[in-house]
Structure 1
């Protein structure tokens, strides 16, 4: 069976008829977990819900870090895209640090997220090179975590290039990692035209971690690169421009890198996990000592049953055993034993495109070994980058008229909440207005209905829901709540109360309780912050997670509508556009994880301050399912005006333009283009449906400029993107 066919078979097994009953949580995006995600995506376990907790959307691959530092690999080449991997595996990804674990209650504490429940958990968080030396936190950077060091290195090289910093580097630690990084940094700085002064500081009497032959080759390579080695040297303090040593002269350093050994993450010491020198003690099946439902792997784990040095090769070799045993723990199956090899090949970069290989005490070096190492590293990354594609849904040979045409269209994407197109929606709502009800000021056609309050003032009412575009109920709740509040904010009203409307996938009572707790706690925080109260709601089970809210708001004076715009008003937008194309590409597995994470992070942010600043708008709406052009056209039609938008002034989410040019598009795009045709420049992104999109306000020029200044003072963003004018209700893009 081909890989795509296998995936389709596995996907068919996870139908709504298979309830979710067990939570598997992977803490960390290390190499072993990345490989487990790939295998899980190929054959997911029916009934298991998978969660990954990692502070960033990507995880650097250790083997290519020296090549990246030397300038041989780009940042993208180095990084494992956890967002794409999690989408492929059907896993939710929580972008935050784990800070504690309660093994009695089976809860993992996550920074900014609260507690995540698990039935089975695995920890693969790597190590850190942060050292307990005076001044380290302020003036140095550890070689691990890799992403922090890589970013600091890029900034250092840029500063050396513009002449603001001397190319002086100190590396604390004369093991393989320290020497390898020193050689890489020397090569990169020389390529940048600098003459580096790099010093490796080793507390021992010689380079550690290799045999005599390899040590001699490393020392020769370092000497040729102009790298100094200080042995029997102990660091006493790190300052901004130098490293102080015990009984030695200080070492000049504009950049100090800590690469002396492996240090466990500090939060592990505050848990009841079994530890050996701060590392998690594991048993031959990779579960931790005394707990068969928590596993640990990679550099954060200690293996007393088979002691080995900290090396990525063991994490990679452990991945198949971990994957098998995680499934066994979830199903009650038989577990396998991990038997790491005693001898392994070391491939060490030598700065330029040359490498050294060592095994059994024998060492060789040269360009051919670099090419061999490069092939091995690229093969590993290709396995995680080029994920098998799912087979398209099979169209029946015999079907009712029109079925084939609809099934041949793009599948429903989450970037527009799978919203119905504007034309059929307008037709369905056309008969709802009741002119005989004196309490209804406006109903169909605006962001929210407006109702007169008996004691004076007005109440606005709106409802909205989203089908899940990501697997994390917490993030989806934040986005859905902000999306629903957008209609209230757009009318200048103060949010009042909210009711939830939830559809949960079929799951066990325990998972129902966990999910509802996460959703309710998150929704309450969002609405509390906006000044509204979550007062209840309704929950059912169905095919997929869907989260919605009915929200009311109040305003003493007439709420802002889309009908009050004036000629010569400018249009102010408070958020980029392009979330629809990014989420559509995300669901297809073609979007960059960093760009997806960036868009989601913006979408879940409140816009209450923006709404307050734009309170003097003549007309306002929020840009959502019908795209920027559709919502501008709505203001034009209601106000009897035309609009001219300046394409170069319109902000776009990072990556949206590239994806759009490559053909990625939301399933609602064709309907939006048809319902809101534009003149001038033809740009699909003008019609891209948005979720939790920005506020769009029509204001006098001077008022708009004051509003932009106020937004900037509060650390917020806003853009003037066009102007309204007398004429037919049309939208022109220039």
Structure 2
């Protein structure tokens, strides 16, 4: 996190090329006292330079992805995976879909442009816009697989005869080369590739014809259907994949910012500042008033050092005292145009070169650019002084940094020794069942015979976004209530903020409490108070209560019961890898989504279970053994049936594990079965994990159907068996 107090908020709206490069620079040279936030609809952004090569099949999907989660970790920033919709300049707030607004002191916009065509009939329903790139890349992946499987016809229309449309048309023709009845048509309402000099244009038109692309210049489209286009003259063209690569336009909400706008784009000067000096704009969404240029990635890349320098000046004590950097784009730039196969055409200042050598040149440039943003060194290990206390080196050297979330908990064996004596609990109105998830309080007739369960959970921060951290912690804390079959009732919040200036304190607490109220209200509970303090790092916890007529406990499992888990496991290893910048941003985002998924509906579906708990810090093995010990039974698991989060098994295979995993294995000493990466995940600490229920064999499959229909990745993973004289055991088989 941050070693010094925070005093300023920098928000980067969009994960475009310029912002990605700024994040890399910020990680190498941060400005103390600034919290950086990057807002982007997803965990990755696509690099436009490699898109034609990806479409042609020369690159994988992951090759062209800029991993914003990893970049944010490197920069010490938070990433908000949502879409910005508005900037309130008076209140200095950025509005975002699905969450409270974010405060900013300085902001920068790098959201690119869109190729959507809302005015073309049928495009919204049946067309695919080339921009934003991430969505198009995913749709192309799917379509190409369908063509290979014979599920879709290889008939394509590309709308837009500029260089982007031409490159993509050639790439598509190459990718599907050899498919029966292949047709790729490039359509433009004007001339195709008219922006080029005549010799270059002729060379590119010849290249299009060579790969079999049909050209339809000066053609107007009337309507788009799922399997064809209808032109205004009544002619139809077969198309099962209609791509919009023309009419690139800015996002409409920019007009509502009050900034000076030129044809929908944010007007900026040489410093890349807009008409509001606290807001910058870069990349395709910006209009360079002092030197207008076409939309091209080369300009975005070269804006990065200028933006980085000027952001630091504006946020620092030197504001107004240091001369800002100026951006002056080159008049012409090298255009390297992919021709479908591994050849390219280079064009600059009238000079043209074509062939495989040009492709290799382009490939080297693109891979070098991506390496700048993917070669990230993890946090530096702690360097100890020459003389330290005995035993300190054993605790530090050769060990990974301490995990957050449930990976930071004290081991179960220590807790068992410290908390084993419950002899002081003699009151009739308090029942603490050993090993259970929550204590049970009785209140007599005031609650109509119901009993109240109470529990507390507090997590050390593992994600820089307080909103995401609050969502996950609230769901995690409610797990103890749900696992006892209780209805959530109330919550008390305990929040420790990192040191920061008062305006930031208010902004953070506003985000946190708005999120907490939303999560708990959705589950039928209410925030009734709490406590806040300042500390070395951000942490958050909730004391929760719930009501139940007869709370469900751990001691009801029976021989023959089927064991159900409602969420995949693997959050501990993914969070450990994310700290070391070794996890995929997509996998991290999926893990966050799993943790933030409410178990309320799952608890209702499993309300008839014989025993139930939630899978959290002790891992699946530890919590299942808790049921076995309380019920006097054993359990058998089928490892291959256990749902696992994407990326978790591969990370486990690479040797990554949460810091508490060894203690969890020691706590689960009654485990017998295979060892290896999948078995290791049994001891992986889970945060906001799923419910673990023991149910009668007769109804287990029906419960799985209901759980899956409700959106849970539920599975039957084993069965309860009798114990022998050695006591409860957990046995696993492949």
**TM tier relative to shorter chain:** over 0.9
Shift of 1:247: 4.1
Q: CA RMSD in A?
A: 1.4
Alpha carbons 1:416, 1:666 under 8 Å: kept:
no
Post-superposition shift, 1:312?
0.1
User: Are 1:445 and 2:438 matched, yes or no?
Assistant: no
Post-superposition CA distance 1:257-300 (Å, at most 9, x none): 111142111222333232111111111100112x1100000001
- Which secondary structure does the structure 1 equivalent of 2:652 belong to? helix
Displacement after TM superposition at 1:443 (Å): 5.0
Q: Distance in 2 between matches of 1:226 and 1:642?
A: 66
Q: Provide the TM-score with structure 1 as the length reference.
A: 0.96
* Partner of residue 169 from structure 1, selected from 126, 141, 156: 156
Structure 1 contact 497–552 (Cα < 8 Å) conserved: yes
- Among 372, 382, 396, which residue is 1:383 paired with? 372
**CA deviation after TM superposition for structure 1 residue 231, in Å:** 1.5
Secondary structure in structure 2 of the residue aligned to 1:495 = strand
Which residue is 2:402 aligned to? 412
CA distance in structure 2 between the partners assigned to 1:298 and 1:37 by the alignment: 15
CA distance in structure 1 between the aligned counterparts of 2:81 and 2:452, rounded to whole angstroms: 37
SS at match of 2:519: helix
Give me the whole-angstrom Cα distance separating, in 2, the residues matched to 1:145 and 1:591: 24
Structure 1: distance between partners of 2:87 and 2:334:
36
Runs of 4+ off more than 4 Å: none
> Does the 8 A contact of 2:407 with 2:572 survive in 1?
no
Contact (CA 8 Å) 2:567, 2:713: kept in 1 or not? Answer: yes
Partners of 1:264 and 1:300 within 8 A in 2: yes
Q: Does 1:729 pair with 2:728?
A: yes
State whether residues 379 and 580 of structure 2, in contact with CA within 8 Å, keep that contact through their aligned partners in structure 1: no
Query: Which ranges of structure 2 fall in alignment gaps of 5 or more residues?
Result: none
Question: Does 2:522 match 1:532?
Answer: no
Partner residue of 1:664 out of 643, 656, 680: 656
Q: Does 1:695 align with 2:691?
A: yes
Deviation at 1:23, TM superposition (A): 0.6
Matching residue of 2:385: 396
Report the Cα offset of residue 441 of structure 1: 1.8
2:168 & 2:194 partners in 1: Cα distance? 14
Q: In the alignment, is residue 329 of structure 1 matched against residue 314 of structure 2?
A: yes
1:680 counterpart residue number: 673
Provide the residue aligned with 1:5 in structure 2. none
**Shift of residue 417, structure 1, vs aligned partner:** 4.7
Aligned residues: 717
* Structure 2 match to 1:367: 356
Q: Is the 8 A contact 1:488 1:552 kept in 2?
A: yes
> Structure 1, residues 560-608: CA drift from partner, whole Å, max 9, x if none?
1111211111111111111000000000100000000001011011111
What is the aligned counterpart of 1:476 among 461, 464, 469? 469
Post-superposition offset of 1:454 = 2.7
- The whole-number CA distance in structure 1 between the counterparts of 2:379 and 2:468 is 26
Cα distance, 1:724 vs structure 2: 1.1
The alpha-carbon deviation at position 624 of structure 1 amounts to: 0.4
1:160-193 CA distance string (max 9 Å, x none): 22333322211111111111011000000106x3
2:302 is the alignment partner of 1:317: yes
Kindly tell me: are residues 658 and 417 of structure 1, through their superposed partners in 2, closer, same or farther at Cα, counting changes over 3 Å? Answer: closer
Partner Cα separation in structure 1 for residue 591 and residue 166 of structure 2: 39
8 Å Cα contact 1:679/1:731 also seen in 2:
yes
Q: Which moved more, 1:117-126 or 1:208-217?
A: 208-217
* Contact 2:407–2:658, Cα closer than 8 Å, also in 1: no
Q: Does 2:409 align with 1:422?
A: no
Equivalent residue runs for 1:89-100 within 5 Å: 89-100=75-86
Report the Cα distance in structure 1 between the residues aligned to 2:444 and 2:147, rounded to whole angstroms: 69
Matched residue of 1:648: which SS? helix
Q: CA deviation at 1:248?
A: 7.2
CA contact 1:262–1:310 (8 Å) conserved in 2? no
What is the DSSP-based 3-state SS (H/G/I as helix, E as strand, rest coil) of the residue aligned with 1:288?
A: coil
Q: Unpaired runs of 5+ in structure 1?
A: 1-10
Query: Cα deviations across residues 349-371 of structure 1 (Å, max 9, x unaligned)?
Result: 00000000000122110000000
> SS at 1:502's partner residue?
strand
| Alpha-carbon distance change, 457 to 245 in structure 1, aligned in 2, over 3 angstroms | closer
**Structure 2 counterpart SS, 1:292:** coil
Aligned equivalents of 1:444 and 1:124: distance in 2? 55
Asked if 1:62 is matched to 2:48, the reply is yes
**Contact in 1 for aligned 2:567/2:712 (Cα 8 Å):** no
Partner in structure 1 of residue 585 of structure 2: 593
Provide the rounded CA distance (Å) in 1 between the counterparts of 2:529 and 2:209.
Answer: 71
Select between 564-573 and 62-71 the one with higher mean Cα deviation.
564-573
Task: Judge which range, 194-203 or 609-618, deviates more.
Answer: 194-203
| 1:143 lines up with 2:130 in the alignment | yes
Given that residues 415 and 581 in structure 1 are in contact (C-alpha distance below 8 angstroms), is that contact kept between their aligned partners in structure 2? no
Give the structure 1 partner of residue 196 of structure 2.
210
Which secondary structure does the structure 1 equivalent of 2:111 belong to?
coil
Question: Does the aligned pair in 2 maintain the 1:233–1:248 contact within 8 Å?
Answer: no
